[in-house]
Structures are given as C-alpha cells and as structure tokens.
Structure 1
C-alpha cells in the first residue's frame, strides 16, 4: 500500500521568502570568501559577488547595503563556524585543559578551513584603514576571544592549577596575539611548519600558566645544586 508524501515533506515545494533570502545570502557570502582568496579585497566588489553567485549586483546591495556591510556578514559567518568548533572542543573544560584544547581545535580549524583563515586575515588587515566600516566588528570579535581565554584562566586559578599572580587579561592578550602571529607567518611563508608552531605554542603556554607549579601532572624538578 502506497502512502502519500505529506506536503511539508515534498522536495518540490517552493521555497519560502525567508528560505530564498537565506540561500541567496549564503551563496553571496561563499562567493565573497572565494573572491577574497583569489582577487583580494579590491576585487571583491558587489558586482563581482553578484556574478560569482549567480545573482545581480542589485540583490547584493539589497542584502548587505554596502561593501562594508557585506564584509561584516562574511566575518560573522566565518566566526560562527570557528565558535561552534571551539565549543565542541571545550566541552565544559576550563583552566590549562581549556587552553590546550582550544589550541588544538584552532589548528584543526585552520587546516580544515584555510580559505576562511586567509579571508579573515585579509579583512582584519583592511580593518586597519581609518575609513573601514567594519573595524568595530573585528575589535569586538577579538575582545570576545580574549574574554573567553581570561575566563579559562580564572577557572584554573579557582582550582589552584594556575598561579594567582597571573593576570588573566594580560595572559589572554599574549595567547591571542600568539595565535594571530603564528597564522600570519604561515599565510605568507609557504615553508612555515604550522603544526610544529602550534605544538611549541601550546607547550609554552602550559609553562607560562604553570610557572610556579611545574607542568600539570608532574612534580617540579629539584633545582638545588648537588652537595
């Protein structure tokens, strides 16, 4: 006996206006990321995005308002992908464990989405322009990232694994600055060993966060000279 497919489950049902809007925006964001990776920020125009995604410039302008509006949306989309991956990796961790899990997750994210990393850094560089319309978005993203790291460090201090004299905000700045520096070097140097750099960075962060206690899980070595 055959069963009729419910109307809501049929694949031939027309898309709603909201679905069409979301699909168009997704296509244009993907086109923008590809263009940023191939022709740079100057060539990533609303006209080029419309042609690349199969839509008109008018629709791109309608969706984003301006090139700056487009780039804000692109940054938001790429950030959302990283945030989701980070939350899965953390899984409630805090302290040193959260820091090391985040570093491992970031390396995996970079290797899985090199086009996102390249496009993100292009936009971050463009945000330094005094006339940039999306500089506040970049600054806010960086603040959120640093705030998360500072929260992990406070969690480790509360558990007694991170020294109380470490300033969470200052350490978060060093952590995030280190990741940005590693990625910038990798993007401009084809022979840069990204995996080794991340592993060294993780090891050094553990040492910094455990400066007065030794590496977690190990007994500090005796530094007294033999008699």
Structure 2
C-alpha cells in the first residue's frame, strides 16, 4: 500500500523524531489501510481531540500524586502534533491545564456543554476523547474504548480498541463497549465519537507507562493510525 500524505515542515528535531516514529507506527497499519489522503489534501475528516478534565478538575489521581488531567493532555498534545505534521486538520477542546470555569465558578456541566459545542462545530469532525480509568483496587489494568451512539462510532471504537490490543496491549481482554448514557459528551455529539480510557491510574504498571513520553507517543500514534484507517474506509458508517 502507498500513502498520499502531505507533510508539513518540522520546525525542530523533536518534531522530526515524532514524525519518524509516526511513520514507523503507521506502516504497521499498511495491511488494513487504503490510500490515505489527509483532510488538508481532499477536505476529509477533521480530528477533534478532547483531553478530559483540566484546571481545577484534575480527574483521577494516582497514589503517587499524578493527575489524570495532565496525562490526558500529554497524550492529546502528542496526537495533535503527529496529526498536524501529516496535514490533518485538528481541533482541541483544551490546549493547557485549564477549563471553561475557574475555581470560584466551577461547573462541570458548563465545561462539558462548552466542549460539546466545540466538537459539534468542527466540520466533518470525528472525536477522540482521552481519559484514564481508576478503580478502588490495584488489579484492573489496560485500555478501554467506549463509543457514542452516533453513526460510525461503534466501528471507530472497535477498530481503535483492536489496534490498541495488537500494537500496545496484547494481554488486554477487554472489548469496545457503548458509552454510558450518563457520559454527557458522547451522549450529545452528532458525529463519530469515542472515549478512550488509556489505562488505570490505580494500577502501578499502567501509571508507570502512562507517565513516560515514549508510551504517550506510542499511544497517540496508535490513535492517529486508527483515525486514518477509519477515515479512509468509505464503507464505515
């Protein structure tokens, strides 16, 4: 298979290395990818990235004090940089450790409504919402993909979860599942949308990996490859 991908110029060495790593990982998808042209080349899908939580809402916290919101953002920024290097249009619901409201007027609902508005406004958007799981005990581990009820979401979710297992977590025995109706964003978006729980903040092995730049980059690239694979398949609805 061949890739028709426009490459943006790398401004520095780290960007080049990220792109090189991205290329290597994307080659692993070659057996399942058709010719891929990015949204920059043919007006295709826009990748909408939602790093969960942020600001006063740190999400789950590990026993070592690591915040879910920080890990979510780290993976999301790597995903954004890799996607934009390959000419894919991206939209972020946040780009730093902040949220819609401040400590004095904190409203989780207002923040979720604001994020959903951003997501639904993105032309031809497909959403990846990045989160981490947590459990009262340390045993549970591994990624979990939840998909929205909107058209295309189940296919996107099952594809992404399968790629995570093949390339990152062969021991993972979970399957992609429908998102709970109580999850505001996935319940209210009108485009393909998945929520990816990358691992467990409560599991020592998971949190060790999730805090390393190499694993964050690898996870981001698998998400990017899944997005490209999903976007290139015109039979997916």
Q: Would you call these one fold, judging by a TM-score over 0.5?
A: no
* TM-score between the two structures when normalised by the length of structure 1: 0.28
* TM-score between the two structures when normalised by the length of structure 2: 0.28
Q: Is the radius of gyration larger for structure 1 or structure 2?
A: 1
Higher strand share: 2
